[in-house]
């Protein structure tokens, strides 16, 4: 296992390029199972979650090649079973269900179980696939989905108690591409990653309209073909570096971003007194730390609201912002593991009922801290950039799940960080 050593107090400045989106790449890689033809996907980030996905595809029998950000998949002859030893390593492997069921008319996918950021059921995924005509049984920790006569279009509402489901929308959308007739998903997730998947599926020959709105319509087709696709930029990686620049920056430019995808994050940073400037084409931005940072309030919501995947990083920024800031997570109300670690660095944070109240302190102090999940670890890295002394962030594999070469990117911005073996 690696750990990251961060010597705090060195400002970051300069420019980096944002990688392709992890959360768009994962379902797109799964969607390659819908055809026996070659699919070429570019700008897949080199992170462990996409590596797991490649291993899953290979394990299912697909032929996969990976070279500098490009993944080529040919799923000519595949099995219908994604076993637990694979699924348990990455929850997002549940997005195999839709494509496997559509292609093979049967699939066995291990249920993912608990998750450190909260209880993450898959009831909506299963309900959606049942609405398309599949029967679902739970057997030995696996969900077995069967539709021997193929799937049929239906109208399906995917709203859960905490809003729409992103991967659930992906699963039903993927399955419906090969269903007979028309499927309408209401209360669909509107995240840009869902739109990127729909673009990929349409390039394969699917007939999807409305992605990016709460109502998605899919007209089933009998066969999909191979295609070439470029993955969208990772808005959460961009947001994380934007927060880092607001916290510890002297002018940081991010290339290959999408201004529209970053609207909610930009609004919070500006409200907190920092400057964010986009170029005319909206594909690069420069973030400057404000002279008088101010507290702010965040409530996470489904897109286009403020993303839950960016609340931990903003909490790290607020930890040294004068005044009292509030972070409420309505999507994953238990996602506050990072707060206990930030408190070990001297932060003043009270967490209760899905809400963190953060009273800014002058400076955090270094401590050995433990990464608990992907975004929590990013928050600890950010906090360490301005903390007094040397912080050791243990269990770095959490951050390697979703941030491509984060230590190299930070080094190129002048941060004093080093990756070492624990």
Which of the stretches 103-111, 122-130, 274-282, 347-355 binds ligand EPU when contact is defined by CB under 6 A?
122-130
Q: At its nearest, how many Å lie between ligand EPU and the CB of residue 191?
A: 6
95 catalytic residue (yes or no): no
Scan residues 164-183 and list those touching ligand EPU (CB under 6 A): 165-168
Q: Which of 69, 160, 290, 295 binds ligand EPU (CB under 6 A)?
A: 160
Say how far apart CA 173 and CA 417 lie, in whole Å: 42
Side-chain half-sphere of 148: how many Cα atoms within 13 Å? 0
Does position 23 bind ligand EPU by CB under 6 A?
Answer: yes
Residue of 39, 37, 74, 36 lying closest to 57 (CA atoms) = 74
Does position 402 bind ligand EPU by CB under 6 A?
Answer: yes
Catalytic residue from among 39, 95, 107, 115: 115
Q: At its nearest, how many Å lie between ligand EPU and the CB of residue 193?
A: 6
Which of the stretches 78-86, 160-168, 264-272, 408-416 binds ligand EPU when contact is defined by CB under 6 A?
160-168
Site string for ligand EPU, 37-76 (x = CB under 6 A): ----------------------------------------
Q: At its nearest, how many Å lie between ligand EPU and the CB of residue 308?
A: 5
Q: Which long-range contacts (CB under 8 A, 24 or more apart) does 120-126 make?
A: 120/91, 120/332, 122/94, 122/168, 123/160, 124/158, 124/160, 124/165, 124/168, 125/94, 125/97, 125/98, 125/165, 125/167, 125/168, 125/171, 125/172
- Tell me how far CA of residue 105 lies from CA of 1, 97, 167, 219, 418, in angstroms: 40, 10, 20, 18, 49
Does position 354 bind ligand EPU by CB under 6 A?
Answer: no
Length of the chain, please? 422
Q: Which is nearer to ligand EPU, 27 or 226 (CB)?
A: 27
Q: Which of 371, 374, 385, 399 binds ligand EPU (CB under 6 A)?
A: 374
Side-chain half-sphere of 299: how many Cα atoms within 13 Å? 3
Residue 35 CB partners (closer than 8 Å, separation 6+): 75, 204, 223, 224, 225, 226
Site string for ligand EPU, 181-220 (x = CB under 6 A): --------x---x---------------------------
Q: At its nearest, how many Å lie between ligand EPU and the CB of residue 165?
A: 3
Which of the stretches 156-164, 241-249, 336-344, 351-359 binds ligand EPU when contact is defined by CB under 6 A?
156-164
Q: Which of 80, 234, 309, 404 binds ligand EPU (CB under 6 A)?
A: 309
Q: At its nearest, how many Å lie between ligand EPU and the CB of residue 166?
A: 3
Binding site for ligand EPU (CB under 6 A): 23, 26, 92, 120-125, 160, 162-163, 165-168, 189, 193, 308-309, 331-332, 374-375, 402
Q: Which residues are catalytic?
A: 115
């Amino acid at each position: 296992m690696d750990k990251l050593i961060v010597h705090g107090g060195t400002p970051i400045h300069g420019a980096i390029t944002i990688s392709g989106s992890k959360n768009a790449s994962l379902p797109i890689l799964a969607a390659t199972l819908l055809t026996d033809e070659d699919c070429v996907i570019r700008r897949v980030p080199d992170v462990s979650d996409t590596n797991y996905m490649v291993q899953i595809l290979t394990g299912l029998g697909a032929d996969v090649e990976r070279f500098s950000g490009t993944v080529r998949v040919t799923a000519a002859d595949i099995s219908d079973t994604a076993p637990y030893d694979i699924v348990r390593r990455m929850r997002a492997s549940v997005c195999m269900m839709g494509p496997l069921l559509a292609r093979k008319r049967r699939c066995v996918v291990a249920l993912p179980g608990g998750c450190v950021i909260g209880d993450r059921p898959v009831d909506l995924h299963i309900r959606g696939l049942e609405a398309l005509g599949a029967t679902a049984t739970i057997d030995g920790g696996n969900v077995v989905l069967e539709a021997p006569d193929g799937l049929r279009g239906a109208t399906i509402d995917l709203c859960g108690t905490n809003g729409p489901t992103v991967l659930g929308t992906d699963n039903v959308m993927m399955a419906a591409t090969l269903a007979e007739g028309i499927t309408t998903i209401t209360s669909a997730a509107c995240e840009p990653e869902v739109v990127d998947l729909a673009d990929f599926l349409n390039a394969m020959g699917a007939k999807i309209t409305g992605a990016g709105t709460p109502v998605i319509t899919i007209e089933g087709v009998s066969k999909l073909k191979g295609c070439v696709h470029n993955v969208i930029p990772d808005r959460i990686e961009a947001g994380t570096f934007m927060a880092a620049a607001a916290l510890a920056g002297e002018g940081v430019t991010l290339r290959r971003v999408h201004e529209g995808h970053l609207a909610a994050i930009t609004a919070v940073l500006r409200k907190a007194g920092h400057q964010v400037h986009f170029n005319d084409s909206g594909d690069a931005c420069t973030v400057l730390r404000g002279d008088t940072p101010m507290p702010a309030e965040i409530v996470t919501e489904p897109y286009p609201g403020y993303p839950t995947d960016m609340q931990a990083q903003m909490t790290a920024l607020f930890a040294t912002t004068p005044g009292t800031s509030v972070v409420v997570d309505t999507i994953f109300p238990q996602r506050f593991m990072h707060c206990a670690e930030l408190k070990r660095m001297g932060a003043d944070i009270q967490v209760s009922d899905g809400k963190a109240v953060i009273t800014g302190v002058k400076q955090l102090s270094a401590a050995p801290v433990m990464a608990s999940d992907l975004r929590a670890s990013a928050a600890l890295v950010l906090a360490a950039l301005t903390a007094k002394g040397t912080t050791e962030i243990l269990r770095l594999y959490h951050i390697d799940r979703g941030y491509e070469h984060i230590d190299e990117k930070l080094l190129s911005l002048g941060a004093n960080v080093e990756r070492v073996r624990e």
